[in-house]
Every structure is written in structure tokens, then in C-alpha cells.
Amino acid sequence: MNTNNSINAFKEAQNLIPGGVNSPVRAFKSVGTTPIFIKEGRGGTLVDIDDNVYVDYVQSWGPLIFGHRDESIETAVIEAVKHGLSFGAPTIAETELAKEVVSIFESIDKIRFVSSGTEAVMSAIRLARGYTKRDDIIKFEGCYHGHSDSLLVQAGSGAATFGNPSSPGVPADFTKHTLLAKYNDIRSVEKCFEQSDSIACIIIEPIAGNMGLVPADKEFLAQLRELCDKHGTLLIFDEVMSGFRATLYGAESITGTTPDIITLGKVIGGGMPVGAFGARAEIMAELSPEGPVYQAGTLSGNPVAMAAGLASISKIKANAPVYKTLQARATRLVEGMKEAAAKYGISLMVNVRGSMFGFFFNDKKVSNFDDALKSDLKMFAAFHGAMLEEGYYFACSQFETGFISTATTDTMIEDTINASERVFKKICNG
């Protein structure tokens, strides 16, 4: 496969953009190759600037549930653009999209739109602190909630400890109120409450997608709910990645645990930059201009993004049974790859939630970030590079999640499984 144009494009980008990319994972450092520069998306595929075609299992990291260039979403965006790109003023589209989301999530009475998942989480935590009049928060190792300062903390052993910054440029004072716990380990959370009586919220990805796909145990989430109720702490579900991907009605509908605040993104933008956070009315009433907790954004509720989101969510609601098909295809993909790997003595641990899938080169079940870190990263890098050569575009990190779109056909799935068997054979034979 010729990728000379991508190689040259990356060299040029590195002269002008730090690392040659505008989001670090795109640099392909963890898989040791040169990133592919994309020219076009077509349904379930990507086309690079060398005209190579790939079956796309990233789907812009989640938002494209109907694949690239879905006709209804594209039409909505084009029509919105004809009326203007941005107004910095209210539009009916904001209310219409809010109606759709509120009608779907039982725990959301009101919602505020922002421009990214990072902004949604940052705002939700500020709201939780303002509502509870407390400062401390609990987050979990391996859960990524955007790059805001208070959430960029160094993951420790999983025991309750106050966080230290994991990035230069983040003062320790900004993270001293962040406590760390281990995913799916309730005792580590209890230790946090033993250390602090000023915990405003627990924030968790109920279906973690940033340590690979690692769903939280139902019992663990129920225990979190009990601890929050006991201590007057709010529970935040970060569903920026999993919202409308794992299920139509949110993680609360499949886990049985109701959060106090939910953050959303990805799919509700239909491919445009959008985030949101919502909660019951009494919590949202603390938000300016109703209440004292300030949050604002010039591009919040951008009319083009709202149009894309409204088209996306409306289409999802009208085609709700498609989740069964997506889950069946995701399951077939990872189970087929697992069987192919087993033929060559390679252990593969797999997970599926709706249209989300994940796999680890690991011989033990992955329940938290410590488990994920024990995966064979060299094997993943070899697999990723070889599958790219075969024409299959997977997330370029062991610690990311894959996505199926409605444009991902059964034939694509079977071809991917067959290609993975060829790749496993090649890896084992050197």
C-alpha cells in the first residue's frame, strides 16, 4: 500500500503544528507508524490522500452513527448554512434539539448545549460544586473527561489519594480537590469519602471508552448511587462517548442506576462540534441566568451544529430497532476476531455495548485501567499496522473504543474477520 502522500503531508504538518496533529492520539505514536491523512469519508469507509480506501471502525471517534455523509444530516447542515453560520443569539433549533434529548433521558429535565465534550464536563462539575457548595470531586483511573485542568491528574495505584497534575502547565492547586479511585472497585471510593467530607460529585464513564471499552459493573454503579445518596454527593454520568452509542436511552436504561447529571456529545452533533449537560430542573436552576453558577459560550447552540444534531437524533429515534443490528454486527466482529486470534495462540479479551466495541491483547478480563495496562501493546501495534495495510482503519491506540455505523455492512464485518486471521498468521509466522 502506497502512503507517500500521507508521509509527506505529515512532514509538512510537523513544521507548522505541534507534533503535526491537532489532537495527540492522531499522531499514531502508540502504534509506531505515520498517520493517514484523510481526503473523504463515504458511508462506512475512509479515503486517504493516496486514494487508499479503508473500512472505518473509528467513525470520527463515535459521532457518525449513520456513517460518513449521511444524506439527511448532510441536507440539514447545508440548509442551515444557507441561513448563516453563527448568530450568537437564540434559535428555535436549540429548543427543538433540547426537546428531543429531554424526551429520551428520564433523569434530564433541562439541558445546556456547549461546543465540546470537554466543555460539557467542565461545566457539569462546576454546576455540581455550585449546587452542593463543596469543592472535592472523585474521578476514576482510566476515565477520560476532557483536558480541563482539574481532571488532568496522574493516575495512582487506585487507592484514594488526592491527585497530582499529569501535565505541565496544570498547577497542583488546580487538582488538589480531585480524588482518584479505581474503576469497578467500591472500596477505593469509600476511602475517598473517608478522606474528605466535602465531595461535590463523583464523575464516571458508566461505559468507559478511553481505556478501551470497559463497562462498569451494574453492582458497582448501584453502590456509587448509594454512597452519593448517603453523603449528599451528586453522581455524574459522562456519556460524551457512550450517549446514543450504547443504547438510545442512555446508560441509566441498561444499568438501572440513575445519575444526577449527564454529559453528552459526539452523536448529538451528528459530526459537528457539540457537547451538552443536563439534569433535573432543581439542579439546572443553579445555572446562570437562573442561578449564580456561570457558564457561557459564543458558539454554544451553534445553528449548524443544532441542525446536524436534530437530524441525527430524530433519525435515531425513528430507527431505534437498528441498535440490535449494530450490536449484532459489533459482536460478530469481535467474536470473529477472537476466534481467529485463538487459532494462533493469541488471547483476545472483547467487549460490546450497542454499536461500541473493544478488544484487548490480554489473557485476563479487563475491569479497570490497571488491567488494561497489562495488555500486549506491541501486539496491538503490529495488528493495527497490518490491518491498515489490509484496508481496515481501527483506533490507533489499545486504549480506545471502536464503533460500528449503519453503513458498516455484514460483508465488511466478515471481510474484516478474514483479514484479521491473515494478520494473526503473519504476526505469528514473523
| Cβ neighbour number for residue 3 with a 10 Å cutoff | 20
**Confidence band for 316, pLDDT divided at 50, 70 and 90:** very high
- Give pLDDT tens digits for 71-119: 999 999 999 999 999 999 999 999 999 999 999 999 999 999 999 999 9
71-318: which CATH number, 2.60.260.20, 3.40.640.10, 3.40.50.300, 3.30.230.80?
A: 3.40.640.10
* Same fold? 4-69+321-428, 71-318: no
**Nearby residues of 190 by Cβ (< 8 Å), 6 or more positions away:** 160, 227
Residue 388 to residue 394: CA distance in whole angstroms: 8
The C-alpha cell 502506497 sits at: 2
Residue 425 to residue 404: CA distance in whole angstroms: 25
The 8-class DSSP code of residue 217 comes to: P
Residue 192 to residue 67: CA distance in whole angstroms: 42
The 8-class DSSP code of residue 405 comes to: -
**Confidence band for 198, pLDDT divided at 50, 70 and 90:** very high
Angle between helix 410-428 and 377-390 (nearest 10): 120
Sign of CA dihedral 7, 8, 9, 10: positive
Residue 69 to residue 76: CA distance in whole angstroms: 11
Written as nine digits, the cell of 28 is: 499514531
The C-alpha cell 433519525 sits at: 315
Break the chain into its structural domains and give their ranges. Answer: 4-69+321-428, 71-318
Class of the domain covering 4-69+321-428? alpha beta
Residue 279 to residue 258: CA distance in whole angstroms: 11
Written as nine digits, the cell of 351 is: 467487549
User: Judging by beta carbons within 10 Å of its beta carbon (0-12, 13-18, 19+), is residue 103 exposed, middle or buried?
Assistant: exposed
Written as nine digits, the cell of 66 is: 449513520
Residue 138 to residue 160: CA distance in whole angstroms: 9
**Nearby residues of 162 by Cβ (< 8 Å), 6 or more positions away:** 175, 176, 177, 178, 179, 180, 195
User: Judging by beta carbons within 10 Å of its beta carbon (0-12, 13-18, 19+), is residue 264 exposed, middle or buried?
Assistant: buried
What percent of the chain shows pLDDT beyond 70?
A: 96
- Give pLDDT tens digits for 11-46: 999 999 999 999 988 999 989 999 999 999 999 999
CB 147 within 8 A of CB 299: no
User: Judging by beta carbons within 10 Å of its beta carbon (0-12, 13-18, 19+), is residue 405 exposed, middle or buried?
Assistant: buried
152 pLDDT higher than 70: no
**Confidence band for 233, pLDDT divided at 50, 70 and 90:** very high
Predicted pLDDT at 157 = 32
Q: What are the catalytic residues? A: 144, 238, 266
Alpha-carbon torsion, ordered 273, 112, 230, 151, to 10 deg: 40
Predicted pLDDT at 155 = 40
384 pLDDT higher than 70: yes
Task: Enter the pTM of the model.
Answer: 0.95
**Cα→Cα distances 355→243, 316, 363, 414, Å:** 11, 13, 24, 16
User: Judging by beta carbons within 10 Å of its beta carbon (0-12, 13-18, 19+), is residue 175 exposed, middle or buried?
Assistant: buried
Residue 369 to residue 241: CA distance in whole angstroms: 17
**Confidence band for 158, pLDDT divided at 50, 70 and 90:** very low
- Give pLDDT tens digits for 273-291: 999 999 999 999 999 999 9
